[in-house]
Amino acid sequence: TFYVIAVYFGAVGIKNTRYSIGAMLLADLVGIITAILLCYLFFGGSV
């Protein structure tokens, strides 16, 4: 997340990353929770 902010936004020249940081961190959290739930589903654990 922070790599994307530093590299991609720096290349384009965006200086105000106010809402994008929160959105990216929320997307990371959703991805982590989804990955955990899918691992439980596929590998036999109960949720």
In this predicted model, what pLDDT tens digit does every residue of 1-30 receive, in sequence order? 889 888 988 899 888 888 999 999 999 999
Q: Is residue 17 part of a domain?
A: yes
Number of DSSP helices (H) and strands (E) in the chain, helices first: 3, 0
The tally of domains found in the chain comes to: 1
pTM for the full predicted model: 0.73
Buried residues in 4-33 as b, exposed as e (16+ CB within 10 A):
eeeeeeeeeeeeeeeeeeeeeeeeeeeeee
How far apart are alpha carbons 1 and 47 in whole angstroms? 28
Residue 38 domain boundaries:
2-42
Q: Is residue 18 part of a domain?
A: yes
Q: Is residue 47 part of a domain?
A: no
Q: Are 25 and 5 in contact (CB under 8 A)?
A: no
In this predicted structure, the answer to whether residue 31 has a pLDDT above a threshold of 90 is yes
Q: Is residue 7 part of a domain?
A: yes
Q: Is residue 8 part of a domain?
A: yes
